[in-house]
Structure 1
Amino acid sequence: MEVVSAGNATAARASLSQRAAGGVLTTCCCVIFLMFNSWTLFTLRSKSLFRETSRYVLLFNLLLADTLYLSLSQLLYLLSNLGVSLPYSACGALVLLANLLGRISPLVLAAMSLERYVAVCRPLRHVSVATAGNTARAVLTVWTVSCLNGVVQGLLVKTFPFEQLTQLCTISVLFLSPVSKLYYDVFTYFLFAWAGSSILFSFVGVALSARSAATDKASLRKAGRTLLLHLLQLVLSLMSVLYGIILAHLASSLSRPDFLLVQTLLFVCFFQLPRCLGSLIYGLRDRSLRVALFYVLCCHVRVWRSPAGGAVAS
């Protein structure tokens, strides 16, 4: 009996150390991604060009939703990793908010892809389509659809007669009845299917334009690669929806230490990395934004002429 108890204690310590390592790894990744997103968000608000151009306004909203979602998903991960139980109402509110923010990205990615399609394939119409008013209406529509989805999901949960339970915060808290689970699945997969179709439509249009165009093929190929990166970002976001199903299949085939390692790596790849790809795609590939990012990084160093005629850096 003492040998068994000692073995259980050793296994418990090993599991605790792995959970701690997973928490440290995900937190470090989260902090790095949050810093990069915050840097990009600040840059996008620093110049009138970014505040008034359609693609940058959409990018700002994408990064804002992704940054909030990244922070909230990390909080939920740490609560689950530490085994912290919350009252059902508090847990449900956190999961509903995360679900709301997570549904904004596919909608904005679709809007950004269609904007690129119009800019590349219908350049004469781009000025009349990508106006400040149309962009504002598109952003308002995206946030409204996401908020309405959250409200409906919350109402479906509220109709279930539950007591004030305490439990770990996972997406399963929304599935108290078959109707709420069915609504979640239908809305989620329809949303990702529509967003994926929009990106693929834009990519095919750009690819056909690149084949038929006599000049400026370089910019067309660049737009096509950007759309492919949007599609990759969408696929990784979709994998976060399938995260629980994937783990359920892996649980029976992996040992406990391997399962915890895979769980941590999948969380980073499916929940955290997609929420930073927007900054990476445009921060590294868009020349105007890249220059502005490095300008901000250099702490707004500028040279001005002092009264005495000397140059002073500030």
Structure 2
Amino acid sequence: MQNSSQGGFSLPSVQVMRPLNDQAIIVQVLISVFLYIDLLMIFTFFRKEMFHTITRYIFFAHVLICDCTYLILSDILLLLSYMRIIMPTSLCILLCAIGFNLNVATPLTLTAMSVERYVSICMPLRHAELSTPQHAAHGILLIQGLACVLMLIMLFSVTAVMPLDFYLSPRVCNVELLQVHRWQKDLTNGVSQVYFLFMALTICFCYVRIMKVARTASGDDRTAMNKGLRTVILHGFQLLLSLIQLWCPFVEMAVLQIDLWMFVNLRYFDYVVFILAPRCLVPLVYGLRDETFMVALKHYALFGCHNKKLGTIKKDRTIFP
């Protein structure tokens, strides 16, 4: 069975697939909606050059790209598992490795975005110096490097215990296929817990520092800082959901020992709440709450009709070419 915290919701066997048809369709609808919103935001980012020079928008676009790729990949694995389609094990390992990378890259980027808010509010004199496109690019490279560590651990643990013919044999792809020994799962989960502990402490530090500055601010500055606080809180909530998905396999395996159908329903619930939900929060946190980005998003979503309603924006050809 496929680990819901890495590759997506899966169905345990052919005998129990049929009753989950409606649930599988609901998942497809949700993923389609999330992908449409995320792809529209990615299109908005690349169309408006102003966003290319601001660090928080660069990080935002990176999160969107990671989430879109992860949603597509997890949905492919879901459908392949649902229809019991086999593939070469080497291809399965590649897809799971990419899933490991993307699953860690998103919360790491959210942590970087919280640090950027901290620098903007608590270190305003150095913000222009530190928050540059070059530093943002270096940050993304660092994020991908840290995310690859977990992926490499998974790959090395597989190569250490599996014979050569294992990689050539066709199988139904799932993460449990690659983690046959308990120590492999414990190693992966242990490294993941260290990552999320580091990210949680970083976000808490940013929140406390911003809150201290917000208490002493007044007027417009206080409004901006309160908005920064809400952003960090939402990042922390999304990180909490991502952390909970690490515990889901343990709960699912315990429930499996009690009742099979309860296990199936729980795995479906975990996938929707702890896999899909955190990835729909990203547009809410940064896309829909950011006034500048929201204006541009409406412009492209409504094919320019929104621009006609805003006379001042319509005259500004530098914003909407």
- TM-score normalised to structure 1 length: 0.85
* Partner Cα distance (2:237, 2:192) in 1: 17
Matches within 5 A, 1:89-168: 89-162=90-163, 163-164=165-166, 165-168=169-172
Residues 253, 153 of structure 1: alpha-carbon distance in 2 compared, 3 angstrom cutoff: closer
* Equivalent in 216, 219, 227 of residue 232 of structure 2: 227
Is 1:76–2:96 an aligned residue pair?
no
Counterpart contact for 1:103–1:146, Cα < 8 Å: yes
Choose 43-52 or 169-178, whichever is displaced more: 169-178
Residues 19-62 of structure 1: CA distance to partner in whole angstroms, max 9, x if unpaired? Answer: 21121111111111010110111111111111110000001111
Q: CA deviation at 1:14?
A: 9.0
What residue in structure 1 maps to residue 25 of structure 2? 24
2: CA distance, partners of 1:287 / 1:128: 24
Q: Which runs of 4+ in 1 moved over 6 A?
A: none
CA contact (8 A) 2:189 2:246 kept: no
- The 8 Å contact of residues 58 and 133 in structure 2, kept in 1 or not, is answered as no
Instruction: Report the alpha carbon displacement of residue 167 of structure 1 after superposing the two structures with TM.
Output: 4.1
**Superposed CA offset, 1:147-169 (max 9, x none):** 34323421221122334355443
Partner of 1:239: 244
Q: Which residue type is aligned with residue 209 of structure 2?
A: G
CA distance in structure 2 between the partners assigned to 1:268 and 1:84 by the alignment: 23
Specify whether residues 220 and 84 from structure 1 end up closer, same or farther in structure 2 by C-alpha distance, changes over 3 A only.
Answer: same
1:214 deviation in Å?
Answer: 3.2
Cα shift at 1:224: 0.8
Residues 86, 173 of structure 2: 8 Å contact kept: yes
Superposed, which structure 2 residues align to 1:1-314 within 5 Å?
15-162=16-163, 163-164=165-166, 165-177=169-181, 180-215=184-219, 216-254=221-259, 256=261, 258-301=262-305
Per the alignment, do residues 201 and 186 of structure 1 end up closer, same or farther by CA in structure 2, a change over 3 Å counting?
Answer: same
What CA deviation, in whole Å up to 9, does each residue of 1:104-126 have, x standing for no partner? 01210111000001111111111
- Looking at structure 2, the residues matched to 248 and 153 of structure 1 have their Cα atoms a distance apart, in angstroms, of 20
Q: Deviations over 1:59-83 (max 9, x none)?
A: 1111111110111112222223333
Cα distance 1:148–1:129, how it changes in 2: closer, same or farther (>3 A)? same
Please list the CA deviations of residues 88-107 of structure 1 after superposition, one character each: whole Å capped at 9, or x if unmatched. Answer: 22222211111111110121
Match of 2:315 in 1: none
SS at match of 1:175: coil
Cα pair 2:234 2:285 within 8 Å, conserved: yes
Equivalent pair of 2:150/2:192 in contact (CA under 8 Å): no
- Paired AA for residue 226 in structure 2: R
Give the alignment's Cα RMSD to 1 decimal: 2.2
**Offset at residue 295 of structure 1 (A):** 0.4
Change (3 A) 1:45 1:262: same
In structure 2, distance between residues paired with 1:259 and 1:18: 14
TM-score using structure 2 length:
0.83
Q: Which amino acid aligns with 1:225?
A: R
Give the fraction of aligned pairs with identical amino acids, expressed as a percent. Answer: 27
Q: Between Structure 1 and Structure 2, whose CA radius of gyration is higher?
A: 1
1:144 & 1:13 partners in 2: Cα distance? 39
Please say if residues 19 and 81 of structure 1, whose CA atoms lie closer than 8 Å, have aligned partners that are also in contact: no
Instruction: Indicate conservation of the 8 Å contact 1:44/1:60, yes or no.
Output: yes
Q: Using the alignment, how far apart are the partners of 1:16 and 1:61 within structure 2?
A: 35
Instruction: Give the residue type in structure 2 aligned to 1:221.
Output: N
Does structure 1 conserve the Cα–Cα contact (< 8 Å) formed by 2:256 and 2:263?
yes
Whole-angstrom distance in 1 between the partners of 2:121 and 2:40: 28
Query: Is the 1:283–1:290 contact (alpha carbons within 8 Å) kept by the matching residues of 2?
Result: yes
1-structure distance, mates of 2:150, 2:18 = 39
- In the alignment, residue 247 of structure 1 is paired with which amino acid? E
What are structure 2's unaligned runs of at least 5 residues?
Answer: 1-12, 309-321
Aligned partners of 1:107 and 1:142 also within 8 Å: yes
CA distance in 2: counterparts of 1:239 and 1:76, whole angstroms: 21
